[in-house]
Copies of this chain bind each other. A is one copy, B any other.
Amino acid sequence: MRVLGVDPGLTRCGVGVVEGVAGRPLRMLGVGVIRTPAEADTAERLLLVEQGLERWLTEYRPEYVAVERVFSQHNVRTVMGTAQASAVAMLCAARRGLPVALHTPSEVKAAVTGSGRADKAQVGSMVTRLLRLDAPPKPADAADALALAICHIWRAPATNRLQQAVAAHRRTTAEAPLMKGTR
């Protein structure tokens, strides 16, 4: 499976594409950062993030998009920008019919390093080793995006089983009441 990981942000939006399956060596196809000028309007910055993500989606054709789940325990201003950039990432994926998975920072750290409280350096170091890179990707947002993609590949078997179970349950439930009158 090929996964685009997105570490959302308006100033720096990390992006990384990883291909592989759980239990086998993984391969990095691309990594980078989409930047937008702090002085620009939020609307303009969101447009630049969208244009950047569209280029990545078109070039790498991922089958899944993994986005960091945003919490609001941090700085209010930063969280707003992060939430808005993550919305653009989800929207770009949904428009192409790609499944979107959200993973929390702790889930990503735990998946990649074994500890949900690992620091940036540990995450960068494990990403470098797992993808057999020469050096940790810089900036940290780029490494985090790769870690998100790796996390998604490794968690996917469990998640897919869960989704299959939910889908099977829905099929056995008459009239699909979840969606009744909502569209």
Contacts and interface: CB of A to CB of B under 8 A. Distances in A.
A54 to B, nearest CB: 11
B91 A47 contact: yes
A46 interface: yes
Interface string A125-160: 000000000000000000000000000000000000
B84 A39 contact: no
Contacts of A85: 87
Given A72-B79, A83-B83, A90 B36 contact: no
Given A36-B182, A46-B94, A183-B37, A80 B72 contact: yes
A112 interface: no
Secondary structure of the A contact surface, majority rule: helix
A42 B42 CA distance: 21
Interface of A: 35-37, 39-44, 46-48, 50, 70-72, 76, 79-80, 83-88, 90-91, 93-95, 100, 102, 178-179, 182-183
13 contacts: A37-B178, A37-B179, A37-B182, A39-B182, A43-B100, A44-B94, A47-B94, A47-B95, A70-B80, A71-B76, A84-B87, A85-B87, A91-B91
